[in-house]
A and B are shown apart, each in its own frame.
Chain A
């Protein structure tokens, strides 16, 4: 599992526990990312799904697309529900109830559920050190309700609540750096991934669930409906997001950063922006501002990678040591 990269695609199992038959839009990058993630997750998991696109397109009563235990309750509380599941299993196993071994709790949510309304619950669960994985499927706006801006919407992008007009250029703020917020909790595993790099995505998801303690995987998921882009360019868009530095792929293991792609130089952000309708209105000046910011952020990331190569760093999350006593 560790080295997905050496496997040829044929060796990846055809089936995953996310069943065929769901209501996602044509060309949904998120559904694709979910499939990849679930190939890596296996059978011995419990899924907590925040309200959002995935929950809606997979679970209309009385049917479900899930062949693993799955629970949806609310928008902002997936991490808290996951905390309760983890605690329930821990307590009952300790008290001698027959429970399956090594069951992993995986919470999934969109960018709104993660970096906006659910941030407090997620921060609490990270801080308490629960053994769970949180996967954010980031399509950069509230797509399920009709493409409203979130804190994960990139600067300049048009959404229905950040429209471009005479007095507006679209989204006025820079994308919230959710992976960095996760890292700031000193959790043992944080990674970014996207569905144009399936082996990388699957390896990271697997590493996340195999890590004892809280783990966070942030997956950029292209939304052709919300991004106003062609469905046949979904993979290309994700690849360009990674290769332009708009969404760099990296891992932070026990506080050490490492880049996932070997990119001698970044492609210009214009390559990424020009194929998406949500950025169509941007002037060259605005594109230059975005380029400048992306370069700056990417440099900061490379500095952290460099810092990580210095030998210091503690071994694991302090919460893990404490919980392993019991």
Chain B
């Protein structure tokens, strides 16, 4: 029997991690990730979760300890945010390059300076090319479900890649939501034990992390890319099986009234639910508007995106990060690139908003959609619109 309970998302997420029965957790505190790792520490301290909890001295060491742990074949989890994610940066490349399937929850938060503890996606964008599978949650339930899926996806021998589950800091981590916590027995059935093919073991010595001369480096990177691209099939498969067991279906690109709509709004993360209310209201007024949200950020779901926008004339993309001096919001840039060579494609309008925790309300989303539609018609001298900025 599954029941829906009101629970803080961070606590529910940590409980989901517990159900995945990790062997090692290595973490360093940073707001707004703290409630996740605090709750895990508590579960370990109470004997409810049998795991080694390594209270490391930095995020760099958190991710490094995860490398070592997962290389022994231990199921491994960590969580971080913002500066912590930035400090991990070089280690993230190692995890994916060496095919070490760590699972990490990222409480999305702005990067300093100026210092801000509130949500945006500048931390995410700084690790875009680290080679991790990256999944975005729009609400607490999605974060909980996808943290369980993340272990199964990453640890699949056809994948063996680290996985980040992104949940917006405060907007998700610190809110109480009605969440269906999966049954532990169902999770145990859904998630097979981790069997790392080549663990560090004196009985069967392996060398991991050797350096590559120019004659072999390109092939090593290509192998990684082929594997990352192929992982989407496994991800979809795992989501399908998750639906069979738990009755909730996830897709690389989620669609909301998007089929047949002329104007589409694309969001990533928690802003999506507020945007959906704006879509409802505009549709009630007779507007031909719909919404798509990117669930899968890496591997980028090219085909799903192209399919989802094929009927639209206008695609408005909301980015919660800025590429200073760059062409558009980072998501908009990728969306434009994905559509550029198509014969029929919507006009893409890039909005940047919600930086450093600034709220985007339903009214503002309606405003963004109206303005975006107008810009698509008349054109704009700007590469992107900085929404709501005081100049």
Residues of A within 8 A of B (CB): 43-46, 48-49, 55-56, 59-64, 66-74, 76-77, 79-92, 94-95, 97, 99-100, 103, 120-121, 123-124, 127-128
Contact = CB atoms under 8 A, between A and B. Distances in A.
9 contacts: A44-B202, A61-B216, A66-B207, A69-B202, A70-B207, A71-B209, A84-B69, A84-B71, A91-B52
B207 A87 contact: no
Interface in B202-239: 202-213, 216, 220
Given A46-B200, A55-B211, A88 B68 contact: yes
Interface stretch (B90-98, B118-126, B310-318, B358-366): B90-98
Interface string B58-97: 1011101111111111101000000000000011001000
Given A73-B91, A74-B91, A77-B61, A83 B68 contact: yes
A49 B207 CA distance: 11
Most B CB within 10 A of own CB, among A49, A64, A81, A103 = A81
B74 A91 contact: yes
A88 B57 contact: no
Contacts of B62: 80
B64 A91 contact: no
Contact of B200 (A60, A71, A95, A120): A71
B297 to A, nearest CB: 25
Contacts of B205: 66-70
Given A61-B213, A84-B65, 10 more contacts: A60-B210, A60-B211, A61-B220, A67-B205, A69-B206, A73-B209, A84-B24, A84-B26, A84-B64, A121-B64
Contacts of B58: 120-121, 124
Contacts of A127: 57
Contacts of B127: none
Label chain B's interface by main secondary structure.
mixed
B55 interface: yes
Contacts of B73: 88, 92, 97
Contacts of A91: 23-24, 50-52, 74
B277 interface: no
Nearest to B102: A84
Contact of B208 (A67, A72, A76): A72
B175 interface: no
Contact of B71 (A68, A71, A97): A71
Nearest to A62: B216
Contacts of A67: 205
B364 to A, nearest CB: 43
A62 B207 CA distance: 10
Contact of A87 (B74, B90, B91, B206): B74
Contacts of B90: 74
B201 interface: yes
Given A71-B209, A87-B52, A120 B68 contact: no
Given A74-B94, A87-B52, A91-B24, A80 B64 contact: yes
Contacts of B71: 71, 81, 84-85, 88
A65 to B, nearest CB: 9
Interface string B164-208: 000000000000000000000000000000000000111111111
B207 A81 contact: no
Contacts of B216: 61-62
